[in-house]
């Protein structure tokens, strides 16, 4: 991670949840530049425009859900770093998202202390090389 503040996009249809995540991100000094999106369609548009270093993506949203948005974002940038935000009932959906290329996930209601650790871990992950990406897709 460079010395400049990473751009983080927070995607959730619930404004309250976006605000909770933004508060955690700011309080822990993880980013000064945060982009909000209210659904999967908005997320894809803003991903193209702002090119965030990391995305937190709610799974269940109206319009395009988190998995549909994840697919679209990974088509734009196969190296995108996306953390899925899910409820316990959506565990199978998160497994599918991880197979598609999500880097990690957080289960709601989440522990406010675990979120910064997961965000930091994902921000530090090196981008996958094109050969790793090709091997991954060939195996699925």
In-domain check, residue 2: no
Domain-located, residue 126: yes
CA 69/CA 41 separation, integer angstroms: 7
> What digits encode the pLDDT tens for the residues 60-107?
998 889 999 999 999 999 999 999 998 877 778 888 899 999 999 998
Q: Is residue 64 part of a domain?
A: yes
Counted domains in the chain: 1
**Residues 100/42, Cβ–Cβ less than 8 Å:** no
The residues, ordered by sequence, that sit 6+ positions from 107 with a Cβ below 8 Å of its Cβ are 86, 87, 88
Q: What is the pLDDT of residues 24-55, one digit of tens each?
A: 999 999 999 999 999 999 999 999 999 999 99
pLDDT of residue 42: 97
More confident residue, 43 or 126: 43
In a domain, 86, yes or no: yes
| Range 129-136 average pLDDT | 44
DSSP reduced 3-state for 77: coil
pLDDT of amino acid 111: 86
Q: Answer yes or no: is pLDDT of 1 > 70.
A: no
134 pLDDT band, cuts 50/70/90, is very low
Domain containing 116: what range?
A: 7-139
The three-state secondary structure class of 85 is: strand
Flag whether 24 is in a domain: yes
Q: How many CB atoms lie within 10 A of CB 65?
A: 18
Query: How high is the pLDDT of residue 4?
Result: 79
Write the CATH number for 117.
3.40.50.2300
Is position 1 within any domain? Answer: no
Q: Which pLDDT belongs to residue 127?
A: 60
Domain contains 99: yes
- In the chain, which ranges are continuous DSSP H helix? 15-27, 40-50, 66-76, 91-100, 114-124, 130-139
Whether 135 shows a pLDDT value over 80: the answer reads no
What is the predicted pLDDT for the residue at 30? 95
């Amino acid at each position: 991670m460079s010395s400049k503040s990473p751009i983080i996009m927070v995607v959730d249809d619930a404004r309250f949840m976006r605000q909770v995540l933004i508060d955690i991100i700011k309080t822990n000094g993880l980013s000064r530049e945060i982009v909000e999106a209210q659904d999967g369609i908005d997320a894809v548009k803003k991903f193209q425009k702002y090119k965030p270093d990391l995305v937190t993506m709610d799974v269940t949203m109206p319009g395009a859900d988190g998995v549909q948005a994840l697919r679209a974002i990974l088509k734009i940038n196969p190296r995108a770093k996306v953390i899925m935000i899910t409820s316990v009932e959506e565990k199978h959906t998160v497994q599918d998202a991880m197979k598609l290329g999500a880097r990690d996930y957080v289960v709601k209601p989440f522990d406010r202390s675990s979120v910064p650790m997961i965000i930091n871990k994902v921000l530090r992950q090196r981008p996958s090389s094109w050969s790793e990406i090709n091997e991954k897709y060939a195996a699925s």
